[in-house]
Structure 1
Amino acid sequence: MLPGNTSPVIINYKLLKLRKIYLAILLFSCCFSGMAQQSGTTAVTRTIFAYGGNYNKQFMRYVIALTKKKDPKICFLPTATGDNANYIIAWYAACEELPMRPYVQRVYVASYTDKKTFEENLLSMDAIVVGGGNTLNMMAIWKAQGIDTVLRKAYNKGIVLAGGSAGSLCWFQGGTTDSRPKDLSIVQGLGFIQTSHCPHYHSEPLRKPLYFENILKGRLSPGYAIDDLAGIVFENEKYVRSVAVDEKSNTYFVSVIDGKVDEKLLTVREILK
């Protein structure tokens, strides 16, 4: 080192130090990325498609699209109708000629005939569609059979969850149901979406006024109301978009503002074909 000429050495030292820091950061990033890939911690999108009424070909095409897979495996859960045979036949008919592989998961089964668990079957699917019917009975059976826990695992795994009527109500905190004699009553859902929900919003006259009353009195939290031929997509528990089969069907967010019920019409982004 020459006296009085230290600047070039200092500059090179600084550059060397920065280079070491850069290489250390790069090495750490590569190691972290490799560990993430080995542990399978890739980003997962949790998706729910809730529609107000029964399934149809338009809704099923949309479920297929949401899986982002070719020829996806889609399983129907007809628990709310007690695994009704006619309902299952109608499901297979709705899936005819669609680019998917339809399955049905019955709950009225026996160990002698069914050699795979509910978890093994459901977690092998690309999407799970829940049918309508008696919501209270369905929720009780799911809890007894552990299917509620399996559906949570499916949701966290990124398997698309869908359904209408009881099959949409189940994903929310709760809502009104016709599962008991005489009057509509409140039922608790799985709570994947932390709001209330009202299916059949305009097709059944008692639904809307009772939904308003329950939200206004605090029995239900603010939430989403859906007409029979409309639906809402949620991703990672957040509202993403509304779709419908026709221009007359809509979705809404119902809340309380200044002590009064507020019904917000949500824009339908797409008319399903």
Structure 2
Amino acid sequence: MSQKTEENPTAELAPGVVIPLIGLGTWPMTGEEAADAVARAIGNGYRHIDTAENYCNEEAVGEGIRRSGIARRELFLTTKFNKQWHGTTGVREAFGAATRRLGTEYLDLFLIHWPNPAHDRFVEAAEGLTRLAEEGLIRCWGVSNFKPAHLRELQSAGLEAPVNQVQIDPEHQQLDQLAFHREHNIATAAYSPLGRNGGFLSAPAVTAPAAQYGKTPAQVVLRWRVQSGRVAIPKSADDRRQRENLDVFDFALTEAEMAGIDALDTGAPPRLDSDEFGH
């Protein structure tokens, strides 16, 4: 049987900084599509919006927030910056540019989008982020697409990333990555949580619970995600799907059902190798 679960659960990233476990992904939406989707998502109950410099939609996301009429303090806003800003001073410039585009004075979460190890400046970028956090310009900092080796470099410099946003879905679970996060108390945020081709949505391990609880396969996968304590950032511009993506807190999967979805892992690496790809 399903059981009633906590509504709108959050994860703590730092003292006093909590992130809603379901957020709205905005890539690859731009322009009016992005502004409209963000405004409607907020109206549909979203309080966590995710964007990035490289998505070329920060202005549109900011416009969508303004259209929604919601107070800025009611939202958790994440964005990310590119490698050209890596370095202690560049991060401050990236922050200024991002907040101008978004029309906000502060960020809830500011991420290094890719480590770009060949560029070899992500440690300096993280140092710059910690200074912004100390000054109260950002509430929390983090990284995206960092492998354990990259995270260890940060640790060697005395830097502990509170959160890492990576590609995680039932077929790409990156078990070594997740184990490292658990060991070092790093929160996991998953982009593309429903995959690119959605093939696993038709797996019996997903469709059987969906039928049992009267949910869609996508809702079951998102429930698996948040029940594991991980943040999920699905993208949708459709009102019905936006509402469905948030409607995953009134049932719980059994241990056997969780294990069944866990077993869908193929061991395949993420779509892009962060030792080679980055911007």
TM-score normalised by L of structure 2: 0.35
- Structure with higher Rg: it is 1
TM-score by length of 1: 0.36
Higher helix share: 2
